[in-house]
Each structure stands twice: as C-alpha cells, then as structure tokens.
Structure 1
Amino acid sequence: MHVRVRMIVGGVFAAVGLGLVVAAVVIGCSTYSFQQTAERTTGTVVDLDVRWGSHGSRSSSRAEYPVVEFEADGQRYTVVSAVTGTSHPEIGDDVTVLYDPADPSDARLDSGPLNHALEVILGGAGVVFAGFGSSLLVRGLRRRGAAAPPAAPPAWPSDAVV
C-alpha cells in the first residue's frame, strides 16, 4: 500500500476509534450517574412493541420490545425497553425498573450486566479501530522516514596539520 494512502487510512481509523472510545466513556458515565440516583421498583410487562426492519435485499426482521408499566409516587408510568433480544421478558413477567425520582417518566429496565453492553461494544470497537489505525500510521511514518534521502555526512576537519 502506498505510504500516503496508508497514513490517510490509518489516520481515519485512529480518529474513528478514538471517537468510539470517547462515546463509550460519555455513555458509560451517563449510565453510571443515572444508576446511582435512580430508584428501583418492580414493573410488569403489559405488551410487546413489535417493530419491523429490513436488511437490504433480505426479508424483513421482527423485533419485540417489552412495554412495562410501573408505579411511582402513586402514579402509573409506562416505559418501552430500548433493548430487544431472543430472551426478553414475556407479557405478565415482573421486571426491575430504574427511574429518576425527580422525573419518573425517565425510566429504563434494569438489565443487570447488560446495562453497560453498549459501552463495552463501542469501547471495544474503538480500541480495535484505534489500534489498527495507529499501526498503519506508525508503518507509514517508518516507511516515509526510510524513503527520505540520507542526510549529508558530518563535516570532518581536514587532515592538514597546522
């Protein structure tokens, strides 16, 4: 690969990787902060929000997001899970809900260790991208240095005796 192209591609990968790592840290801090101040309560899955998506030329895919009702300060609130998967809770199941006591409409389902899955995925991808990009940059810099013309030899005093 040409040195200039290698350095451009490496720079792009490194920048994207660093951006992903920063995003993971910001999202992680936000999630951690929310969890530290959130109240916990039990909610009940009352419905499944079915969403359809397509994958290019493939057929549509079906995703089910649990809809949960919970009570806080004598009022009922509804939250739709932001996460779906093959093993989501079914209608009638009890789940743990985290909510902001100052604004109970700001609520999330407690997914245990999966609460931080997004940060781990983003951070991991960021480290891989940044590492790959950095290695391309370093190789490009080494090759660029090797291709540079040699420096002039140092000037030595003449052998003449004064």
Structure 2
Amino acid sequence: MERVVLGLILEFVGLHLLAQGQAVARAARAFLAVAVRAEGEVIALRVSREGVAQRPRPAHVYLPVLRFRTAEGRVVEARSPVGGNPAPAAKGDRVGVLYDPADPSDVRIDTVTGHGTTAGRWLTGLGAGLLVVAFGVVVSAAW
C-alpha cells in the first residue's frame, strides 16, 4: 500500500513539473517570436530568495538588471525574470539583450539559458522522469 501512495505522490509531482515545464517553454517561445535584439549592459544583480530551500541556507537566484537602447533610441533599465545561480552575467558585462518591442521592460539576456527555454526543458524532462519512476513504483507494488 505504501508503494502505491508513493507512486501516486510521484505521479502528482511529475505531472506538476511536466505542466510547469511546458508553460515555461511556451512562454519562452512566445517571447522569442516577438523579441528584438539590442546590445546592453548588466547594471546590477537582484537576488531572489524564491529558490529551492537547501541546507544550511536557501538557494538564491540572481536576476540581471539590464540597461539597453531600443531600436527607437529609448534607454531602458529592466530586470530579467530569468536568472541563475551562479549569476548569468556579472555587473558591468556587455551582453546581447532581447526585449519585447510592445513592452521593453520585458527583457532577457540573449543566451540559450537566458531565454528561459532551458528551464522549460529541464522541468519537462524531470517531470517525465518522475512519471516513469511513478509508473515503475506502482507496477512493482502490484506484484
């Protein structure tokens, strides 16, 4: 009985991660479909404490604050919603920037990990892996 419960919990978590991964990947693709490229600079790193809890302290995600000039010549400073640990770039680094021309504050660093597509793939893969494990646990409990 414990294995069935464990399998159901793993299935629930796996489905949740799979759905989150697909949502993140879909949002990243939608952003990339409209994004415009510019050159910019990392002017700061903001620390998000929304990372996964770890012992002895919580993990932090470093979100870059970017300054760039739009195609229309407007200077924009905006924080990317995509970050990492370690930070995706250091303060003062010159970076390629992608921004939404309809909302220039919607900005990302122009790298594979900066787009958000990598996070979507990782979450999707982890969710799918947990579903496979959950299936194996439930099947083994039936024997």
Question: Conserved in 1, the CA contact under 8 Å of 2:108 and 2:114?
Answer: no
The code of the aligned residue for 2:111 comes to S
1:10 and 2:11 are equivalent in the alignment: no
1:91 and 2:74 are equivalent in the alignment: no
Structure 1, gaps ≥5 residues long: 144-162
Aligned match of 1:125: 126
The code of the aligned residue for 1:46 comes to I
Aligned counterpart in structure 1 of residue 25 of structure 2, from 21, 24, 28:
28
Cα root mean square deviation, aligned: 2.8
The code of the aligned residue for 2:79 comes to V
Question: Conserved in 2, the CA contact under 8 Å of 1:79 and 1:108?
Answer: no
The code of the aligned residue for 2:39 comes to T
Aligned counterpart in structure 2 of residue 37 of structure 1, from 34, 38, 49:
34
What is the rounded CA distance, in whole Å, between the counterparts of 1:28 and 1:97 in structure 2? 19
Aligned match of 1:71: 69
Taking structure 2 as the reference length, the TM-score comes to 0.78
The code of the aligned residue for 2:65 comes to V
Question: Offset at 1:19?
Answer: 1.9
The code of the aligned residue for 1:67 comes to V
- Closer, same or farther: CA 111–26 of 1 in aligned 2, 3 Å: same
Question: Offset at 1:140?
Answer: 2.4
Higher-Rg structure is 1
- Closer, same or farther: CA 48–40 of 1 in aligned 2, 3 Å: same
- Closer, same or farther: CA 103–19 of 1 in aligned 2, 3 Å: same
The code of the aligned residue for 2:97 comes to V
What is the rounded CA distance, in whole Å, between the counterparts of 1:140 and 1:57 in structure 2? 32
Structure 2, gaps ≥5 residues long: none
Question: Conserved in 2, the CA contact under 8 Å of 1:34 and 1:100?
Answer: yes
- Closer, same or farther: CA 71–21 of 1 in aligned 2, 3 Å: same
Question: Conserved in 2, the CA contact under 8 Å of 1:28 and 1:119?
Answer: yes
Partner secondary structure for residue 89 of structure 1: coil
Partner secondary structure for residue 49 of structure 1: strand
Aligned length: 139
